[in-house]
Chains A and B, each alone.
Chain A
Amino acid sequence: MMNKADIAVIGTGPAGVSAAITAVQRGKSVLLFGSAQLSAKISRAEKISNYPGLPDVPGTELAAAFKKHLRSAEINITEDKITNIYDMGGKFALQGASSEMYEAAALIIAVGVVPSKPYPGEKELLGMGVSYCATCDAMLHKGRAVAVIADSPDEENEVKFLAEVCERVWYFPLYKDKPSFAAENIKVLDDIPTQIRQKSLSERTLVTNKGEYDVSCVFILRRAIAADTLLPQLKTDNGHITVNRFMKTNVKGCFACGDITGRPYQYIKAAGEGNIAALSAVEFLDAK
């Protein structure tokens, strides 16, 4: 069940892809986490005019070229969202939304940036009736009412899963094209959540622009998880991970690259930093 590698790379944007390629080329084993379709930010760009060697390349073509490069380097993508990272002193343990655990001696964080602010109460109640992982925590709310807030249709399977375990699911999709479900205990709402409050040891109140919902747990399923929630010891500044020229963070053996380290937000900057992060991680491992 435990999957191990020398280096875990989180994120399949240009930063993570570049880091994985360099790390493997330097003889290290790599676990690359993210969507097999790669970062949506690559394919969504209409055309990219400043990527050397590929003038005016459409984003979809750049994504296809990245995928081809990964295949030829024999790098597989592990399609799992990392929800927690634990520094075990000398190695890192990573927990996926699938509830699978992974282990690596070095870590490269290339998760990009998605502007999202935590709801008031979210951080304080995390693990105490606010959860980022349906698979991990559903069973603790068996037979009770829960709320789910999600920013992409990818999470709809989690909603169905929760409905099998819980008595009622209030679903708050934050995207267009609201879904409908066959299960009668799922109610899809178009309210805008604003705040989460502790009601009692066993109940939370989700406040929206239209009303209040008392539930056992509020599941918040976002594409991005804040860096300092992933790994609380990480030094960040305004949502960006603080790194030096070698992409080193303040946590030993942990490196970061791409948009998550700060502006400018550019493909080539992300790919370049991915290269540096991988070389630094290789140097770190070889010095051990």
Chain B
Amino acid sequence: MINKIENSDLTAAKAANLAIIDFSAQWCGPCKMLAPIFDELSEELEGKAEFFGADVDQNPDAAREFGVMSIPNIVLLKNGELVNRQVGFVPKEILKTMIEEFTD
């Protein structure tokens, strides 16, 4: 399941042990390609990480806080700290490995 971020409210993401935030937008082609992959990973890694989606047009402050300068932009937070980032589309297996590096 993907938790939708609204009003740039990052409280839940920062409180999570491991949070994965997908910054995207309606007008972004590669974001649409990434969306189903992100969905699948949120099911496969359920209980190991929490998945969030943030539309940059609706959450400009959140995007700014994490220096999102290009999308798609996936940010990994471990106990609220930025530990890794992926800019641009990635194939599923690579993203999965990236996340699993931080799961307990």
Instruction: Decide if the interface of chain B is mainly helix, strand, loop or mixed.
Output: loop
> Does A45 sit at the interface, judged by CB under 8 A?
no
> Does B10 sit at the interface, judged by CB under 8 A?
no
State the CA gap A205–B22 with chains docked (Å): 27
Q: Are A127 and B28 in contact (CB under 8 A)?
A: no
A residues near B2, Cβ cutoff 8 Å: none
Instruction: Select from chain B the residue with minimum beta-carbon distance to A127.
Output: B87
A residues near B25, Cβ cutoff 8 Å: 139
Min Cβ gap A18→B in Å is 29
B residues near A99, Cβ cutoff 8 Å: 27-29
B-facing mask of A81-100, CB < 8 A → 1, else 0? 00010111100010100011
* Stretch of B12-20, B40-48, B61-69, B96-104 on the interface side: B61-69
> Does B33 sit at the interface, judged by CB under 8 A?
yes
Summed over the interface, the residue pairs from A and B with CB atoms below 8 Å come to a total of: 64
Min Cβ gap A87→B in Å is 7
Known: A84-B88, A86-B91, A139-B56. A127 touches B27 (CB 8 A): no
Q: How large is the interface on B (under 10, 10 to 19, 20 to 34, 35 or more residues)?
A: 20 to 34
Min Cβ gap B35→A in Å is 12
Q: Are B63 and A140 in contact (CB under 8 A)?
A: yes
A residues near B57, Cβ cutoff 8 Å: 139
Known: A99-B27, A99-B29. A89 touches B67 (CB 8 A): no
> Does A202 sit at the interface, judged by CB under 8 A?
yes
Min Cβ gap A126→B in Å is 8
Q: Are B91 and A87 in contact (CB under 8 A)?
A: yes
Q: Are B67 and A86 in contact (CB under 8 A)?
A: no
A residues near B11, Cβ cutoff 8 Å: none
> Does A182 sit at the interface, judged by CB under 8 A?
no
> Does A14 sit at the interface, judged by CB under 8 A?
no
Known: A127-B87, A202-B64. A93 touches B69 (CB 8 A): no
> Does A217 sit at the interface, judged by CB under 8 A?
yes
Q: Are B70 and A131 in contact (CB under 8 A)?
A: yes
Min Cβ gap B98→A in Å is 15
Q: Please give the residue numbers on chain A whose beta carbons come within 8 Å of chain B beta carbons, in ascending order.
A: 1, 84, 86-89, 93, 95, 99-101, 127-129, 131, 136-137, 139-142, 201-202, 216-217
What would 8 A/B residue contacts be, using CB atoms closer than 8 Å?
A: A86-B30, A86-B90, A88-B91, A93-B30, A95-B29, A127-B88, A136-B28, A137-B69
